Amino acid sequence: MEHAGELFASAGPTGRSLPAGSFTLLNPCQPSKIVALWNNFQALAAKLGKAAPAHPLFLLKPASCVIGPGEAIRRPRAYAGKIAFEGELGIVIGRKCKDVTVAEAADYIFGYTCVNDVTAAEVLNENPDFAQWCRSKGYDTFGCIGPAIATEFNWAAAKVSTRLDGVQRQSYPLADMIIPPDQLVSLISHDMTLLPGDVIAVGTSLGVGSMKDDSTVEVQIEGIGVLTNKLHGTAG
């Protein structure tokens, strides 16, 4: 169903339905930033031997890295190494949000989307003195979000499935999350103002791996949809 208006303010249905194939889906919102969590699932923390964090551990992915469903992930021109996929849940902020309590947080969550948090794996630890989180995860096209924002979504009952060229590589329950969405929004809103359209990628769990050029990755969350992106080689 077609809607018109401002997504986070006054959008409403136009009454018009568009036939499948007659339109192209874009990224469902334009974040000013993606706040991307590290070490936020029990199973992965246990595998890596890391303690559960008391506060969200995050890096920032810039607005310039965002693409939508069906758009190509592009290999950076100067990088020939491994490119990793990470299927994740994304929280989409609906209202300007600063210093909110856990009880208030739900009012600031517009909905949920799928995220592929793409990473140039060999850049991350290239320098022994400084882990390059923002650089390795900030390349243009490395922030895949979509295909939709589900405004009624029970995250605690859902799981994330990630397929690489049709083969399932991740399947983990969101209930295994260490710091859940309402707490994430509250805690991160004490670190920085969150704006409408901003996305919190809640972190990934077991099964991340790397994509070859021309690989297709699908991140599926029941109740949201399937986010599909293909890795293209260097644009040249």
Quote the least distance from Cβ 191 to a copy of itself, whole Å: 5
Please say which residue, 27 or 220, places its beta carbon nearer to a copy of itself: 27
For residue 104, the Cα-to-chain-centroid distance in whole angstroms is 23
For the segment 102-141, give every residue that binds a copy of itself (CB under 8 A).
126-127, 129-135, 138-140
Q: Token pair for residue 37?
A: 């969590």
CA 68 – CA 191 distance, rounded (Å): 27
Quote the least distance from Cβ 49 to a copy of itself, whole Å: 10
Residues 162 and 220: beta-carbon distance below 8 Å: yes
Indicate which single residue of 7, 63, 102, 226 sits in contact with a copy of itself (rule: CB under 8 A).
Answer: 63
Please say which residue, 45 or 221, places its beta carbon nearer to a copy of itself: 45
CA 113 – CA 128 distance, rounded (Å): 34
Report in angstroms the alpha-carbon separations of 180 from 7, 11, 55, 144, 234: 25, 28, 11, 21, 37
Quote the least distance from Cβ 210 to a copy of itself, whole Å: 19
Of 57, 95, 75, 67, nearest to 193 by C-alpha is 95
Total number of residues that touch a copy of itself (CB under 8 A): 39
81 lies in the binding site for a copy of itself (CB under 8 A): no
Quote the least distance from Cβ 153 to a copy of itself, whole Å: 26
Report in angstroms the alpha-carbon separations of 102 from 54, 69, 113, 194: 15, 31, 21, 15
77 lies in the binding site for a copy of itself (CB under 8 A): yes
Residues that bind a copy of itself (CB under 8 A): 32-33, 38-39, 50-51, 53, 55, 57-60, 62-65, 76-78, 98-99, 126-127, 129-135, 138-140, 190-195
